[in-house]
Amino acid sequence: MTGLTHRQSEILNIARSIGRVTVEDLSRRFEVSAQTIRKDLNDLCDRRSMTRVHGGAIIASGVENLAYEARRFVAAEEKKAIGIAAAEQIPNGCSLFINIGTTTEEVASALVSHEDLLVITNNLNVAMALYRHPRIEVIVAGGNVRRSDGGVIGSAAIDLIGQFKVDYAIIGASAIDEEGALLDFDYREVQAAQAIIANARSVMLVSDSTKFERSAPVRIAHIGQIQTFVTDPGIPPRFRALCQERGITVIEAGSKTADDDEVPAEPAEAVSAS
């Protein structure tokens, strides 16, 4: 890309490799002031190469997703907290779908102490996280395996999903717009996600708040088709109001209260409009 300084080009390379950069880390790495880094990030955002997030920036999205390993680093702590909070909503002795995504994988990791679960997934990483546990039965959808992230996509996966009617579906999204659309990049992945939503009694969206700062071209569903949304405290107020209007339970993983110093915090705070 022409017109970039050497430092700005390096910032882009770092962001592409790890997904997210922070002002503090870049200031230390390049031995310049935080103000200088903020100017660099603002310039890159003006060029639509990056998108600002709290404390830093991520690679801008539009028609192509971040590399899978880079996505693991974006909001990693928030995703782990979301995974734990989501798993706490899943009872023993139930059936569930888990689809493709780094956040849904955190849910799977937090389910390992559950008992008598039936998990159907089109995510090889979810299957690998759960199949060793004797009280969890895992069924993997067949079809083409996407090399970039281990997602199983295509008509065979959709056909298998359609054979089940499960208690819960755990889904992710690459982006969420302010009107409530849940978005992704690969229409084949979206078709599998739509089949999952259609064949579950209760649907849980797990997504960190950086997804509100991104865009993607393919529509999965609308937030109104979701019963529970597990996220972090960064959810925009307008979207929170939309969830309340639709009667969607919002669980903010990692929420803190004024009494945190005196009483141990609950792992998640639920807000329901019902």
Residue-wise pLDDT tens digits, 187-222: 988 999 999 999 999 999 999 998 898 888 899 999
Higher pLDDT residue, 251 or 217? 251
8-state DSSP, 151: B
Q: How many helices (H) and strands (E) does the chain have?
A: 10, 16
Pairwise CA distance, residues 23 & 70, whole Å:
18
Q: Which of 204, 207, 141 is nearest to 167 (CA)?
A: 204
8-state DSSP, 85: H
Sheet holding 50-53, edge to edge: 20-22, 56-59, 50-53
What average pLDDT does the segment 127-149 reach? 91
Mean pLDDT of the chain: 87
Per-residue model confidence as pLDDT tens digits over 8-65: 999 988 887 776 789 999 999 999 999 999 999 999 888 878 877 778 887 766 544 5
pLDDT of the residue at 256? 52
Pairwise CA distance, residues 122 & 97, whole Å:
9
Pairwise CA distance, residues 57 & 69, whole Å:
17
Pairwise CA distance, residues 260 & 253, whole Å:
14
pLDDT of the residue at 68? 60
Burial 121-152 (b: 16+ CB within 10 A, else e): bbbbbbbebbeebeebebbbbebebbeebbbb
What average pLDDT does the segment 255-265 reach? 43
Q: Which of 120, 102, 97 is nearest to 208 (CA)?
A: 102
Pairwise CA distance, residues 107 & 84, whole Å:
6
pLDDT of the residue at 58? 78
Could you tell me whether strands 181-184 and 166-171 are parallel, antiparallel, or unpaired per DSSP bridges?
unpaired
pTM value?
A: 0.75
Per-residue model confidence as pLDDT tens digits over 226-243: 999 999 999 999 999 999
Tokens representing residue 269 in the block: 């705070």
